[in-house]
Copies of this chain bind each other. A is one copy, B any other.
Amino acid sequence: MKPIASNRSKKDQLVNRARMLISCPDRPGIVAAVSQFLSEHGANIVQSDQYTMDPEGGMFFIRIEFDLDQLTARLPQLENDFAPVAERFSMNWSISPASKKKRLAILVSKEDHCLLELLWQWQAGDLYADIALVISNHPDMRELVESFGIPYYHIPVTPETKAEAEAKQIELIRGQADVIILARYMQIISPEFLKHYPNQLINIHHSFLPAFVGGKPYAQAYDRGVKLIGATAHYVTEELDGGPIIEQDVQRVSHRDNVDDLKRIGRHIERIVLARAVSWHVEDRILVYQNRTVVFV
């Protein structure tokens, strides 16, 4: 399957669009200071979303999209000029050109549905990112992935070779990708791996977390007799299935559905939920604070 027309998004045109993410302790004057700064530098705010966490003395979060003529050339100076403003308010902040695609590394095991969804959305232009490489502990999806013109690496993982395998993965990813997607990758990621990619590693868990943590969630769901099953996309942290939740969705099931039916129905939820989470991440729509996400959609 050849990528006939990839990434044909309207976003290609937005060469002068930037996205600014800020989180800081709330206090009066933040919006005024930032918007004044942008206005003085000739930037036009086209979208902004803001949230202040209760109670008083909480955190302040803002996402601003702005247009600035000759963005690429002027961005370094803009960042330089903004630093003192940011310091005044103790901000965590970033400015990213909207036209600069994030680079993804996708890790996958034997289930192909999440990978396929990402490939299809990428090819349809709905996922504005570069898929730099796919790594799997199984050889099965090589032909599929390479037919999209994307490199595929088969790195087997056994309990004995796990550390070595991770070292190979990191070596392959380093410099090639900013974001790692676990698209039904059935191996635990080590803390060492994680610390290279804080809040840049997204997993899809096949249950409505925090119900059914760990393995075989559909069998657990069947045993409990739930009437809805779900999937959860979350950032990976050291706590198994415990990282900040990005997105969740569910679908109705009934007593008629056995474990295989739950898996089949679940596959559709998983791929939609993961694709949404990845889209929001690459469009700089997510801020993480403690173990929660602020998602501006």
Contacting chain B: which of A26-34, A78-86, A161-169? A26-34
- Smallest distance from the beta carbon of A275 to chain B beta carbons, Å? 9
Interface of A is mostly: mixed
Contact (Cβ within 8 A) A224 B211: no
Query: For A113, A144, A208, A250, which residue has the most chain B Cβ atoms within 10 angstroms?
Result: A208
- Smallest distance from the beta carbon of A150 to chain B beta carbons, Å? 13
Contact (Cβ within 8 A) A52 B46: yes
- Smallest distance from the beta carbon of A247 to chain B beta carbons, Å? 6
Q: Give a binary string over A225-264; 1 marks a CB under 8 Å from any B CB, 0 the rest.
A: 1111010000000000000111111100011101010001
Interface size on A, residues (CB 8 A): 70
- Smallest distance from the beta carbon of A52 to chain B beta carbons, Å? 5
Interface presence of A272 (CB below 8 A): yes
Bound-complex Cα distance A227 to B249 (A): 8
Given known A50-B47, A52-B46, contact A255–B209 (CB-CB < 8 A): no
Contact (Cβ within 8 A) A228 B211: no
Bound-complex Cα distance A168 to B112 (A): 37
Given known A36-B36, A147-B1, contact A226–B209 (CB-CB < 8 A): yes
Interface presence of A159 (CB below 8 A): no
Contact (Cβ within 8 A) B44 A28: yes
Given known A1-B144, A228-B208, contact A52–B48 (CB-CB < 8 A): no
Contacting chain B: which of A95-103, A187-195, A198-206, A289-297? A289-297
Given known A35-B32, A36-B32, A147-B147, contact A292–B225 (CB-CB < 8 A): yes
Determine the chain B residues whose CB is within 8 A of the CB of A295 once the complex forms. Answer: 227, 254-255
Interface presence of A143 (CB below 8 A): yes
Determine the chain B residues whose CB is within 8 A of the CB of A112 once the complex forms. Answer: 124
Contact (Cβ within 8 A) B208 A209: no
Contact (Cβ within 8 A) B255 A51: yes
Contact (Cβ within 8 A) B1 A1: yes
Across the interface, A47 reaches (CB within 8 A) one of B2, B28, B40, B51, namely: B51
Nearest B residue to A290 by beta-carbon distance? Answer: B225
